[in-house]
Amino acid sequence: MKRISLLLGLAFLLAACGGDGGSRSAEATAASSPRVSGVLSTRQAKQLFGGMDTGSRQSPAAYGSYAKGCAAGQVQLPETGPTWQAMRLSRNRNWGLPVTVDFLKDLSRIAARQPGWNGLYIGDISQPRGGPMLTGHASHQIGLDADIWMRPANRLNLTQSERENISSISMRRSNGAFTNDEWTEAHRNIIKAAASDPRVARIFVFPGAKVAMCNAEKGDRSYLRKIRPWYGHHYHFHVRLACPRGMSGCVDQDPPPRGDGCADAQQWVNNILNPPPPDPNAPKPKPRRELTMADLPAQCAAVLSAN
């Protein structure tokens, strides 16, 4: 029934877009249908994008922002390569824009030069056509985000079953205030190489790791600006690429604040060790509203309807 419902929804979508199976360009289709009409516009976008098995046969393009968008012309990171393995294959989230897949291959070759590492275990990148995910991430919607496991990839012959069942390794101690004994110089070198790549806009990692990298760096500190402390991110680090030049539909995040960000990371650590008292006037957090097709850029209807 779920598959039938999805196909019916896409049939309505094709009709709303003047659907022709994807022979028209995304821009032309979006122009003929600025918004998905009727009831489909209120459907949860994650159900539609989460039901896509393959990328769209379109020119690579990101539409919208990291947490509210979609991606055309994505390519699949091969399940196994000379210096990487994609994990959790059942999720079908090893898709990204070509620039992202190229970056991951490049970084995996750097990782393979580290002691005890033969490459990288790659976690979630994006769904085949991006968009909101059925479970988990709020971001990873435009094919420019990727999660890289902290677990050293010392074996690159994991079976599909092993990739579903083994877990990464946590690097944190004291709730993320410090790194633990699993953290090595190799972790620092790999994250530094990622942050030094001009394609990268940000890297998210737990606060203790950022402070450890700040304390260890004795040379050029400019790359540290891109490494941002964030909740979780102790089993993996999250790489976010900048919008590729000329991709006008892609919305970049504001640049990180000036400086190396080390004082800010230390404040995160201080707050973990000595939590500030709760603010009685702070508003209660609101539950996150599920995105509908009407919330996404108009081009996302064409991305869904293509081929």
Residue 71's pLDDT band (cuts 50, 70, 90): very high
Q: How far apart are CA 81 and CA 307, in angstroms?
A: 28
Which tokens go with 295?
């919330």
Q: How far apart are CA 138 and CA 21, in angstroms?
A: 29
Whether 5 shows a pLDDT value over 80: the answer reads: no
* 86 half-sphere exposure, CB direction, 13 A CA radius: 21
Q: Which residues of 31-53 are buried (b: 16+ CB within 10 A; e: fewer)?
A: eebeebbeebbebebbbbbbbbe
Whether 22 shows a pLDDT value over 90: the answer reads: no
Whether 247 shows a pLDDT value over 50: the answer reads: yes
Q: Which of 78-82, 109-113, 172-176, 282-286 has the lowest mean pLDDT?
A: 282-286
pLDDT score at 42:
56
pLDDT tens for each residue of 81-90 = 999 999 999 9
DSSP helix/strand/coil, 240: strand
pLDDT tens for each residue of 105-140 = 999 999 999 999 999 999 999 999 999 998 878 899
Q: Which domains does the chain have, with CATH numbers?
A: 75-277 (3.30.1380.10)
Q: How far apart are CA 9 and CA 40, in angstroms?
A: 7
pLDDT score at 30:
39
Phi, psi of 292 (to 5 degrees): -110, 170
Q: How far apart are CA 240 and CA 110, in angstroms?
A: 18
pTM of this structure: 0.86
Residue 281's pLDDT band (cuts 50, 70, 90): confident
Phi, psi of 179 (to 5 degrees): -80, 155
**Location of structure tokens 């909101």:** 132
Residue 10's pLDDT band (cuts 50, 70, 90): low
